[in-house]
Each structure stands twice: as structure tokens, then as C-alpha cells.
């Protein structure tokens, strides 16, 4: 049985404001990382594990939100199982999902273009991604064979839980990388601040719509949006703590994972000589990066390898 939404038109306007505000905040949150990678011409410090599984997650989110908003059969099935209420998936949810899939794919492509040091996708992440894909295909085949009524409806809900599971684990590799390197360099804090804003607004819209329509079951019935918001808030707070508290004073070589040992092995240098400008063939001398570069903020803007190519600047900054 449907009920008249509380607040009428005013409630719809408030919901739209919250919805499009979170969509803008979450959508814009992708750009600082893309820009940072392009500006530095480097993806050193950005977790490959996170980037790869992030694309898979948003593919699942897009596959879930688009049919729930546009497909009449799915909307009818939702109404049948939710006492005649309409789905709480909104147009801004669809716009965000598709935009997120596009931008996360662009970020993924940057891994193959820019300097990446010694970073690569871990074996355990490859296993997780393959397992998820096989699970999706297996569910699709099994449900198709049974030819159950409401098959696509159940399958889309399955994808939503896959997305929620991915969101729960996808940021762990980045948080661990920051911890291991004792630095957040390469990971955009602007992304995190916008992400946190979007998460709060997203949950606010969902709760408002659930209250207006007296459909609290619908709030829980949109697990990907409800759960994603809280998972996002948790990790965003963690990253903010890492950036502004734990590692706020860390500069220089610690921000470049390819050089985490604290020195560069100088190539082409005779024993006892210091020649940091040839990092391709390892010589005998090992010079502390901080002895050569100090705390020059230029390191924060350019990759270390590009920076080392400028001999005159290096000589000026040497201690």
C-alpha cells in the first residue's frame, strides 16, 4: 500500500538538492587524483590494487542502478516486494555511477602511461578480482538455468552486494601503502575531502526519502547506497588522519615508493664518487636522497626520476 510522501513538493526539492549535491561532490572527487597523476606524470604512491578493483566496483554499481531506474520490469518487481513503494534509486544515482565508471577507468589507464616505479597489482588482488568475476558469471548461469521469476531483479541485488563488498576492501591496499611508506604523497587529499562530503549527503538523501515515504525497508533495501556511504566515511576519516596527523611532516624521498629504502643507487659512478644523475646502472656509492634534495617542495610536484634529470638544479640543492 502506497502512502503520500511527507512534505510534499518541498520534500522532493530537498531530496533533489541533497541528491545532486552528493552527485557533484562524489563526481568531482575523482578529478584531483586524475589531475595529480597528470601533473606529476607519475602514479607513484597510488595503489594499483585499489585502482583496478575500483573499476570493477563501479561497473557493478552502474549495472545495478541503471536498470533499477529505467527498466519497468525491475521497478514493478521492486513494488511487488516493497508494499507498492517505488525504488529509492534516483537519476542522480545513475549519473554518479556512470560518471564514476568513466573517471575510474581513466585513472586506470594512467597506470600504463605515467611513471610508476616498481608498483604493480598484487597476486592476492588478482585472485580476488578473478574470484569476483567468476562468481558473477556463475550466479548468472545458475539463475538462468533455474529460469526463476524475478531472476534479473535478484541478479541486480547480487551485483549491489558485490559492489558493497568491493567498497569494503578496496581502500585497504591504499591505507596500507600509506602506512608502509609513512606518507600520503601520490594520494590526493582533495579526493578524500570531497568523497567524505558526498558520503554524508548520500546517506542524508536516502534517510530523508525513507522517512518521507515511510519506507524504511527501502533504506535497507538499497544496501549499496546505504552501506557504501558508511564504509566511505570510515575510510575517509582514516585517510584524513593519516594525511593531517600521522604523516603530515613527511617530505622528500619518503613520498616515492620506488626509493623507499632512503637512498638512490648511483649508476655509472666510480667507487667513492657521488653521481645521482644516472639511476639506470648501479654503482658503488649510495647517497641519501635527503642529503641531495633536502626538503625541496618541488619533489611534491614532480616524480623523483624527472627531478633527477635536472643536473643544475640538483647541484644547487646538494648539501
Set of cell numbers at residue 229: 556511504
Note the pLDDT of residue 293. 41
Note the pLDDT of residue 218. 61
Distance, in Å, from the CA atom of 179 to the CA atom of 246, rounded to the nearest integer, reads 9
Residue 68 makes CB contacts below 8 A (sequence gap 6+) with: 74, 75, 78, 87, 89, 156
Question: pLDDT tens digits for 114-147?
Answer: 999 889 999 999 999 999 999 999 988 887 776 6
Please work out, in degrees rounded to the nearest 5, the angle formed at the alpha carbon of residue 167 by the alpha carbons of 163 and 173: 135
Q: How many CB atoms lie within 10 A of CB 302?
A: 17
Whether the pLDDT of residue 66 is over 90: the answer is yes
Note the pLDDT of residue 194. 92
CA distances from 60 to 74, 93, 166, 191, 316 (A): 16, 13, 10, 21, 52
Q: Tell which residue, 295, 261, 259, 289, has the closest CA to residue 274.
A: 289
Question: Which among 183-187, 286-290, 298-302 has the top mean pLDDT?
Answer: 183-187
213 or 158, greater pLDDT: 158
Q: Is the whole model's pTM more than 0.85, yes or no?
A: no
162-182 mean pLDDT? 91
Residue 161 makes CB contacts below 8 A (sequence gap 6+) with: 223, 224
- Asked if 32 and 107 count as a contact pair (C-beta separation under 8 A), the reply is no
266 or 205, greater pLDDT: 205
Note the pLDDT of residue 127. 96
Distance, in Å, from the CA atom of 294 to the CA atom of 85, rounded to the nearest integer, reads 63
Q: What are phi and psi of 250, to 5 degrees?
A: -80, 125
Q: Tell which residue, 3, 58, 15, 36, has the closest CA to residue 185.
A: 36
- Asked if 85 and 210 count as a contact pair (C-beta separation under 8 A), the reply is no
Question: pLDDT tens digits for 189-200?
Answer: 888 999 899 889
22-49 mean pLDDT? 92
Q: Tell which residue, 155, 124, 125, 150, has the closest CA to residue 138.
A: 155
Distance, in Å, from the CA atom of 171 to the CA atom of 291, rounded to the nearest integer, reads 33
Q: Long-range contacts for 242-246 (Cβ within 8 Å, ≥24 apart)?
A: 242/175, 242/178, 242/179, 242/184, 243/184, 243/187, 243/189, 243/192, 246/182
Residue 136 makes CB contacts below 8 A (sequence gap 6+) with: 60, 158, 159, 162
Note the pLDDT of residue 262. 37
Cross-strand partners of 265: 286
Residue 202 makes CB contacts below 8 A (sequence gap 6+) with: 22, 26, 225, 228, 229
Amino acid at each position: 500500500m502506497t502512502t503520500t510522501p511527507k512534505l510534499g513538493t518541498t520534500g522532493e526539492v530537498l531530496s533533489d538538492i541533497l541528491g545532486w549535491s552528493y552527485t557533484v561532490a562524489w563526481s568531482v572527487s575523482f578529478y584531483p587524483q586524475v589531475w595529480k597523476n597528470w601533473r606529476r606524470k607519475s602514479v607513484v604512491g597510488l595503489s594499483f590494487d585499489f585502482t583496478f578493483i575500483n573499476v570493477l566496483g563501479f561497473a557493478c554499481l552502474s549495472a545495478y542502478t541503471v536498470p533499477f531506474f529505467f527498466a519497468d520490469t525491475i521497478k514493478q518487481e521492486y513494488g511487488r516486494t516493497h508494499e507498492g513503494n517505488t525504488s529509492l534509486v534516483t537519476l542522480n544515482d545513475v549519473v554518479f555511477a556512470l560518471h564514476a565508471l568513466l573517471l575510474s577507468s581513466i585513472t586506470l589507464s594512467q597506470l600504463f602511461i605515467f611513471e610508476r616505479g616498481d608498483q604493480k597489482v598484487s597476486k592476492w588482488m588478482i585472485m580476488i578480482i578473478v574470484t569476483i568475476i567468476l562468481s558473477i558469471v556463475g550466479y548468472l548461469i545458475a539463475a538462468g538455468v533455474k529460469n526463476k521469476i524475478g531472476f534479473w531483479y535478484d541478479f541486480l541485488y547480487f551485483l549491489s552486494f558485490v559492489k558493497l563488498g568491493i567498497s569494503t576492501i578496496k581502500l585497504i591496499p591504499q591505507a596500507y601503502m600509506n602506512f608502509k611508506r609513512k606518507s600520503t604523497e601520490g594520494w590526493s587529499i582533495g579526493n578524500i575531502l570531497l568523497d567524505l562530503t558526498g558520503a554524508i549527503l548520500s546517506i542524508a538523501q536516502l534517510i530523508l526519502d525513507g522517512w518521507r515515504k515511510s519506507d524504511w525497508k527501502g533504506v535497507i533495501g538499497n544496501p549499496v547506497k546505504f552501506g557504501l556511504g558508511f564504509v566511505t566515511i570510515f575510510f575517509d576519516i582514516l585517510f584524513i588522519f593519516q594525511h593531517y596527523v600521522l604523516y603530515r611532516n613527511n617530505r622528500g624521498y619518503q613520498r616515492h615508493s620506488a626509493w623507499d629504502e632512503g637512498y638512490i643507487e648511483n649508476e655509472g659512478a666510480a667507487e667513492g664518487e657521488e653521481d645521482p644523475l644516472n639511476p639506470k646502472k648501479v654503482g658503488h656509492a649510495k647517497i641519501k636522497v635527503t642529503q641531495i634534495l633536502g626538503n625541496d617542495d618541488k619533489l611534491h610536484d614532480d616524480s623523483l626520476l624527472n627531478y633527477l634529470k635536472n643536473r643544475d638544479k640538483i647541484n644547487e640543492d646538494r648539501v
